[in-house]
Structure 1
């Protein structure tokens, strides 16, 4: 079912509209899960989770009222507030110091809760820190944005998924037809694929990430990223992998995927496509792309990197312990799964 287009009354595509909130109330009353509701609306599951957490209060007896939630949201939006980062000089100094050490706002927010458990007034969310950075009146110098992973001096405007151009894909190849076991991350060999694009869209590196182990392969694309070049490069890398770990591949609907039918025979379960504007459907790949920007910054020429350079970066990331893996490395998990 395509996502409903329910954002007409929202302040922007980033915020839930009245119609969306009413739809959430209806679907929740029908017993749908937060993930199922998010899928119906074309929103991230975290958006629905956050909405219910904010607007189902003890005196509501567990009932979510869409009209009441929207009224509360409008009231919050118009309420003048002073940023906690601006109001507290000591907190501002702590946040600034960690930013200068190139910590992310998420890491800073988690650290504040861990190290200062009794200072509830310091338990800010990462969005508060982002706002303090990108709005000059919120307490932090915008110059500190250069220490963020993106290095972006201004926040990038987001477009809703239903505002983006949707490419035609056979319905049977969409992600909802992928074997359910892929979503559960209980086997090795289900890959997510994406492109890291360089300066002026003239160079690129393709990424392959195993959903379960987070094991990474980087695909060298020295020339133009035509469908034929991407096909040949992917076939070369996939052919190096044992058949037992070539099960499925999920990617976005970019034009470079035009030759997907020639790649599918190498994969036991085939190739599947995420919906436009839903990066959480390829969460492992999106997260890995963020890690890779440490080595391949945005707005740089990626064609200068050789295949050997890519192998070196692979080695670094595949041998780095990951919290999500219980502090094991992707290589350890990947190899252990292949060992009888």
Structure 2
């Protein structure tokens, strides 16, 4: 039986107290399945970024996850979209890093925090980053100059072009619910959350954890990733 069949059984068959009990077992805690749609705040973030390079020009090795070091990124927003946390996810290992952004999505602030995070990675894991066309990435050329990380931008309103990151952001909402003040979370707490998430076994990694998959890459820098 597929995981989708199990979810549908929980959503459709549960009734009354049983339904409430079953809903608590779901990651989202919701009793109804909701279609994905782009929130108004996300629509406002989309705009023309100077000197941006389209995802259509991204190397094929990033698309098929054959080579490690290709990342996807985004912001998750808090109460009234006034507080944000940056998320970075490596496509082949699903390893995530969280950016502490107490000053919000100001492009200069995001640039500085991004550079600091990328500099913690070895050069062979700094191949590319894919982001949406949010104004927070207006300083993307400075990031590339400082880190040698090529940055590509998704087509407007196309979150599926960062599918790994979107999935990870969904997992992170367990720790950072919508409508809460994200600025209250310290860098140390963000690091703890990332460590916990990177310690979860993933089916797509043959039940290895993202941390284990990344450690293997760091131990054998010339290895080509084969995870799907």
What is the TM-score with the length of structure 1 in the denominator?
A: 0.55
**Which of 213, 217, 226 is residue 97 of structure 2 equivalent to?**
217
Relative to total residues, which structure has the larger strand share, 1 or 2? 2
* Partner SS state of residue 244, structure 1: helix
Aligned to 1:255: 135
Unaligned stretches of 5+ residues in structure 2: 221-228
- Seen in structure 2, the aligned counterparts of structure 1 residues 199 and 150 have a Cα distance that, compared at 3 Å, is farther
Quick one: distance in 2 between partners of 1:151 and 1:239? 37
Judge conservation of contact 1:248–1:267 (CA < 8 Å) in 2.
no
TM-score relative to the length of structure 2: 0.80
1:179 aligns with 2:73: no
In structure 1, the gaps of 5 or more residues are 1-105, 111-124, 133-137
CA deviation digits over 1:227-283, x for unaligned, max 9? 111111111111111111111000111111111111122454610011122221111
d(CA) in 2 for partners of 1:326 and 1:279? 25
- Counterparts of 1:150 and 1:307, CA distance in 2: 25
RMSD: 2.9
Within 2, Cα distance between the matches of 1:228 and 1:317? Answer: 28
| Structure with the larger RCO, 1 or 2 (CA within 8 Å, 6+ apart) | 2
- Which structure has greater helix proportion? 1
CA distance, structure 2, for counterparts of residue 192 and residue 185 of structure 1: 12
Which residue number corresponds to residue 153 of structure 2? Answer: 273
**Aligned residue in 2 for 1:331:** 211
Which of residues 47, 60, 68 in structure 2 aligns to 1:188? 68
Residues 185, 212 of structure 1: 8 Å contact kept: yes
8 Å contact kept, 1:246–1:266: no
